[in-house]
Structure 1
C-alpha cells in the first residue's frame, strides 16, 4: 500500500483543486451572476474537500516516485473520479439534471467530448455555463499532460515514438518531466486561451462569451453558451474558432521546441503537415458537396473549413448543418470523426501519426514484396520504425475498431436506430461531440437517449480519452501482480 501513497496524495490534491474551483464558482454565482446555483457549488466544495483531505492523509510521507502500475492507477483514478465530483453542480434545482444526465455532462466535459444533454443554453445559469467551460479547459491541459508524461512510457498505441530523449526511465519507474517543461506547456496553454479570448472579443462577442468559448476552443471541447453553437456568432468569430481549434490540435511539444528550444522529437512537423493535408483534402470535398447551393463561394469555403476543422480536431462546434449537403458530406464527416488531430495535443481520435505509420507499414511491405532481398525501412518522428512500433499501432487500431463496433451493437440493442447507434459510438470514442441524424446530429442533443445508453457512452468517452489500453489494464490481473 505504501507504494500507492503518492497516488493518494496526487488524487487528494486534485480533489482539493476541484473544491477550489467550485468555491470560486459559488462566489461568482452568489455575488456576480446571482443565478441561484451557489448552494450546489458549495455542496461540491464540501464533498471534494472532504474526500481530498482524506486522500491526502493516506498519502502522507509518500515517496516522490511512481512506477507503471501507480501511473495507471493515478490516471484511471483521476479521470474516473474527478468527473463524479464535477457532476454535483449539474444536479442543482436551477439546472434540473438527473444524476445520470449530470454525470454524462461532466464526463463529456472533462474528456472534452462536447456531447451534451442540456437544452435551452441561452437561458441557462451563467455559472453553470462557465463551469462547463472550466471542465473542458482543465480536461484539455490534463490531456496534454497525459499524452506527454504517461502514455509514451506505457507504450500505448505507438506513443513511445514521442518519448523525450532527456527523460531516461528506469526499468520500472516513470520519471516526471522536468518542471520547467510543465511550466512552459501551461504558459503556452494559457497564452493560447488568452489570444483566443481577445480574438473572439474583437469579433463582437461579449466578455463572458469570449471567455467561455476561448476555454472550449483551445481545449477542443466544443461546449457553447448557445443552442446554435458557433452558428449564432459572426463569420469573424468562426474564423477565429478555426485558427484556435487547429492550434489546440497541434502537438504542444512543437510549440515548446519553437518557443523555448526544449528537446523535441524530429518528425513532429511531419505529423503536423500530414494533419493539415487531411484538413485541406476534406475541406475540398465539403466545398464540392455544396456545389449548386445558393450560398456564396466564400461562405461555402468557410462552412466547409469550419466543419472539417471542428470534426477532425474533435471540437464538435456547429456553424451549419452539414447533413443538408448530401451523401458526400455525410460520408466525409463520418470518416473525419475517427481521424483526430496530432499526438500530444488536446484533440482525440485515432491521431494522424498512427495513420501515417499504418501507411508506411503498408509501403514497407509492398517494397519488401517487390524486392525480397532488399532491406526496406521506414522512419517516423526522427527514428527508424521498428516492428514493435508498427505492431503497437496495429493492436491499437484493432482495439479501436473493436470498441467502436461493440459500442454500436450495444447501443442498437438498447433501442437506438442504426444511424444514431453507430455515430454515437464513433463520436464518443473519438471524443468529437455531435453525431449524425435528427437525434444527436449537429442540431440535436443526447438528452432523449435512454439512461443505459448514456452510461455506456460515458464509458466509451473515457476509454477513447485514455487511449483504451489504460482502462483495459485496470481489468488485467497479471498487470497488478508484477
Structure 2
C-alpha cells in the first residue's frame, strides 16, 4: 500500500465531510425557528467540528496531481468514507438535549446512513424537530450516497457481479451516459425529483408538511426512520399508506433506469428483467400473506391492506410498519424472514442480496441440472438475452456463500450476549438487508432496539455496515495482499 494512495484517500475523505457539515446547519435552523437554542447550538458546533476536520484533511493531503485511482483505492475510499460519515454523523446526537450515549448515538447514525431504519430512540412524537430532521437527512444522504459512490469507484471492481451492471444498473452503459459525471447528475436529478414528488403526494394524502418531508426522505431512500413511535401506523390513513407503498417501490427500482428512460424520451423500456422479477415476487408475497391472514380470521379487506403495506416495506428494505407482523403466526414470520434476503433491484436505494443475484443464481442452477442430462453440451448462463460471463456467475455464488456465513456468525455473536434466537437472527438479517424492524420479542415492529445489550448493538451495527457495503467491498481489505505494494 503506497503512501500516495493513503494520502489520496484521506484527501477525498476530507472532501466528503464538507457536505455532511453543511447539512448539519439545516436542523440547526429548524431548532432556531422553534426557539430550541440548545440543540441549535449543538448542531452548529457539530458542523464546525466536522467542517474543520474535513478542511484539515484536505489541506494536509492536497496534491497537484493524483494517479492512484485503481481498484484498491476505490475500496479504501468507499469503506473509509462510510465509516467516517457514520462517526461524524453521530456527533449531533451525542450533544443533543436527549442525552444519548455513545453506543446509541453510533447505532442511530449507522442505522440512518445505511438506510436500515432500526432505532433505539423512544418518544419520537415529542422530540425536537431538528433531531428528527437530522435522522431523516442522514438516511436520505445514505440512500443516494452508496449509488454515487458506486458510480464513481465501483464499476471497475469485480465484486459480486457488479461489473454486469455497470454503475449498479443493468441498462446504463454506452451512449446514454458516456461520462461518469453525466451519470451522477442524472441519478441525482431522479433522486431529488422522486423525493419532491413523494413530499407533495404525502401532503395531499393528509400528512403534515414537516412529517411529509421527513417520511419522503425516508421512503425514497428506503430508510424507514419515522418521526413517530408507531411509524406510518400512527396516521391510520389508507391514502398515506398507498402513497408510501408506491414510493417505496419507486425507491427499490433502479434509479439509473429512470434516467435512461427520460433521456431516451420513453423509447427504451423502463421495465427490464430484474424489475419484472421484483414486481412478480412482490405481488406473490403480498398474495400469500393476504391469504394467510384471511385463514387466521382477519377480514379480507384488512388482510390485503396490512399485508400489502408491510410486505412492500420489508422487501424494499424500507422498514416502515403499520402493525406488528411478528404476531401473525409462524408462516408470516417465515415469509418475512425470507423477504429480508431478497431486496430490491441493483442500482436502487434498497439493500439485501438483490433480485439480479437471485436470477443469476437460479439460472446457474438450471444450467447445472441441464448439464447432468447433456454432459457434452456447452451452455451459458443468460440474463436479459445475453450470455453472462463465468466470472460474474462465480462472483454471485461467492457472494451468496459469504452472505450466509456472515449472517450465521453475526447471529451467533448476538445470541452470545443473551438475546433469544429469533430476535438475534432477525436483527442480524434485517441489519444486513438494511430492512428495519426484526421479528423477535426484543426487536419486533412494535418495539425497537433499545432493550438489547450494548455489545449486541455493536454486532448489529457491523451487520448494517457490511450489508450496505455489500460485504466483499469490506472483506477484500482483510486480505494481506491488499496492503502490499
Q: TM-score, normalised by structure 2?
A: 0.93
Measured after TM superposition, the shift of residue 371 of structure 1 is 1.6
Structure 1 equivalent of residue 86 of structure 2:
83
1:256 aligns with 2:264: no
Give 1:299's match in structure 2, choosing from 298, 302, 306. 302
Structure 2 equivalent of residue 190 of structure 1:
192
Say whether the 8 Å CA contact 1:242–1:310 is kept in structure 2.
yes
Change (3 A) 1:33 1:381: farther
Change (3 A) 1:465 1:265: farther
Inter-partner Cα distance in structure 2 for 1:415 and 1:15: 37
Measured after TM superposition, the shift of residue 310 of structure 1 is 0.4
Inter-partner Cα distance in structure 2 for 1:187 and 1:292: 45
* 2:110 match: secondary structure: helix
* 2:120 match: secondary structure: coil
Structure 2 equivalent of residue 19 of structure 1:
21
Inter-partner Cα distance in structure 2 for 1:107 and 1:200: 26
Structure 1 equivalent of residue 357 of structure 2:
354
1:53-452 aligned at under 5 Å gives the runs 53-63=55-65, 66-163=69-166, 165-166=173-174, 177-233=179-235, 234-261=237-264, 269-292=272-295, 295-452=298-455
State the number of aligned residues: 475
Structure 2 equivalent of residue 170 of structure 1:
none
Measured after TM superposition, the shift of residue 145 of structure 1 is 1.8
Inter-partner Cα distance in structure 2 for 1:83 and 1:447: 19
Structure 1: stretches of 5+ with no match in the other structure: 168-174
Q: Which range moves more in the overlay, 445-454 or 157-166?
A: 157-166
Tell me how large the CA RMSD over aligned residues is.
Answer: 2.2
Inter-partner Cα distance in structure 1 for 2:343 and 2:206: 30
Measured after TM superposition, the shift of residue 415 of structure 1 is 0.9
Measured after TM superposition, the shift of residue 292 of structure 1 is 4.3
Measured after TM superposition, the shift of residue 319 of structure 1 is 1.0
Say whether the 8 Å CA contact 1:267–1:380 is kept in structure 2.
no
Inter-partner Cα distance in structure 2 for 1:96 and 1:480: 40
Q: Which range moves more in the overlay, 191-200 or 8-17?
A: 8-17
Q: Which range moves more in the overlay, 250-259 or 267-276?
A: 267-276
Measured after TM superposition, the shift of residue 17 of structure 1 is 1.4
Dislocated runs of 4+, deviation >6 Å: 264-268
Structure 2: stretches of 5+ with no match in the other structure: 167-171
Measured after TM superposition, the shift of residue 6 of structure 1 is 3.6
Change (3 A) 1:400 1:68: same
* 1:355 match: secondary structure: helix
Inter-partner Cα distance in structure 2 for 1:22 and 1:165: 35
Say whether the 8 Å CA contact 2:186–2:256 is kept in structure 1.
no
Inter-partner Cα distance in structure 1 for 2:412 and 2:261: 45
Inter-partner Cα distance in structure 1 for 2:223 and 2:269: 28
Inter-partner Cα distance in structure 2 for 1:199 and 1:229: 18
